[in-house]
Structures are given as C-alpha cells and as structure tokens.
C-alpha cells in the first residue's frame, strides 16, 4: 500500500491538520512504511473470526438519567482560549 500526496491531502483534511508541502513529502515515505507494516495483517484469513473491540467483551453499564454533576462552568470556562460570559468564542460562521 502506497500513500500518495493525494491521500495525504485527503486524510489531513478529514483530520483537520494543516500539512505544509515539505511535511507532506516527508510523510509520504513514513506513512507508506507504516502501512506496509500494517499490511502484514492481510496474510492471514480471518473470515470466520468475530471482531474483538474490547479486551474483556463486557457490556456497557447503564445508570439512571439523573443530574450527577454540579455546574462546573466557573471552573471550566476560564480554560477556554476565548470566552464571553458562558459562551465559547469562535470566528463567525453564520453571516
């Protein structure tokens, strides 16, 4: 599996990471190397195998739908790069 410049452009867009031209050229070789390592998986047949998404195959526990956390806005809002009152500020998205 070769990762092309076109692939990098596509996945960088999906991942919302800006990649410079120079970075992209370096990435091509390294990502291709990693994908070749990953492709080792294709050598075995897994048709009848059940996928394993969790180490212990446990079920998701449920809890009652009750308020359990107090209002922690006073603690968390000051962590925002830009905030006003209790709102996170971002560049305008709606005209």
| Interface pick for other proteins out of 17, 22, 71, 84 (rule CB under 8 A) | 17
Q: What are 44's strand-pairing partners?
A: none
Reference 26, options 5, 2, 1; nearest CA is 5
Q: How far is the CB of 41 from other proteins (least distance, A)?
A: 5
Q: How far is the CB of 81 from other proteins (least distance, A)?
A: 4
User: How distant, in Å, are the alpha carbons of 11, 17, 44, 50 from that of 2?
Assistant: 14, 20, 20, 29
- Residues 81/75, Cβ–Cβ less than 8 Å: no
Q: How far is the CB of 33 from other proteins (least distance, A)?
A: 5
Judged by CB under 8 A, the chain residues 41 through 80 that form the site for other proteins are 41-42, 44, 46, 49-56, 58, 60-61, 63, 72, 75-76, 79-80
| Interface pick for other proteins out of 22, 37, 71, 85 (rule CB under 8 A) | 37
Residue 53, helix vs strand vs coil: coil
């Amino acid at each position: 599996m070769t990762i092309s410049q076109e692939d990098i452009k596509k996945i960088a867009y999906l991942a919302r990471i800006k990649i410079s031209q120079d970075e992209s050229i370096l990435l091509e070789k390294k990502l291709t190397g990693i994908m070749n390592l990953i492709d080792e998986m294709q050598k075995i047949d897994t048709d009848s195998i059940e996928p394993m998404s969790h180490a212990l195959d446990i079920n998701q526990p449920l809890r009652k739908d009750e308020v359990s956390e107090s209002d922690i806005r006073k603690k968390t809002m000051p962590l925002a790069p830009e905030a006003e009152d209790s709102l996170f500020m971002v560049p305008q998205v709606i005209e």
